Amino acid sequence: MNDARVGVVVGASGGIGSACAAALGDSADHLVLVDRRPATVTGTVATAHECVADIVTPDGRAAVRKAVEGTGGRLSWVVLASGAPLRQDFQSAPSAAIEQCLLVNLVAPMLLMKELLELPWEANGQVVVIGSISASRALPNRTVYASAKAGLEHFARSLAAELAPRQLRCNIVAPGVIDTDFLGDDRSALDGWVHSHVPMQRLGQRREVAQVVRFLVRDAPTYLSGARIAVDGATEARA
């Protein structure tokens, strides 16, 4: 075991995940980039280790753990940015789709963290969970996805309390409507919603989410844990 700092971005090929990886490339000696697809990150300073793995599976989670252990260093921070949408009303959604949404967005990140917390960590290590404003707002065709994200955010708050005696922190960044491929076919329909529901009347940018994640990892006071920061153009500020 050496003193090298290890950072992990889960969902590193996604819009927000890749932006986080680029923003945090100088915040660890080894950067482990996890996704089901190869991740391409520009501007990375740390030694990057690509881990192509599906954290839904036990083998995938074991691969992430092995990649971290292979660096020989200690975990400094983990960003959980993986996820998949389910845009369908609850009544018509197939049971298999509901189970998969909960597995991908809630169960898999929890089980991965269980693995990673068994590894050596630096003091004042940080876990940042990417939540969603869907977790706190009832939106059309988001019942299952919103439930998963609400569960993930409460997991993060509970984890913050559990990890505090170990001098580890856990915080939540909750994006609003962000301009990424995650929007899929909803992009055009969301234009009207953004203008009527988002006070700033524009989509957020992935780098704006990543900048908040970078602040939590690098600059936030060590007493800040269990917090939730919404990056949503004041959407949640409007009742």
* Residue 204 DSSP one-character state: B
145 is catalytic: yes
Q: Answer yes or no: are the C-beta atoms of 6 and 28 closer than 8 Å.
A: yes
Instruction: Give the pair of three-digit tokens for residue 17.
Output: 């995940």
Q: What angle do CA 143, 146, 149 make, to 5 degrees?
A: 150
Instruction: Give the pair of three-digit tokens for residue 8.
Output: 């992990």
Provide the residue type at 158 as one letter.
S
Question: Which residue is catalytic, options 145, 160, 212, 229?
Answer: 145
Unique residue bearing structure tokens 């890749």: 18
The residues annotated as belonging to the active site are: 145
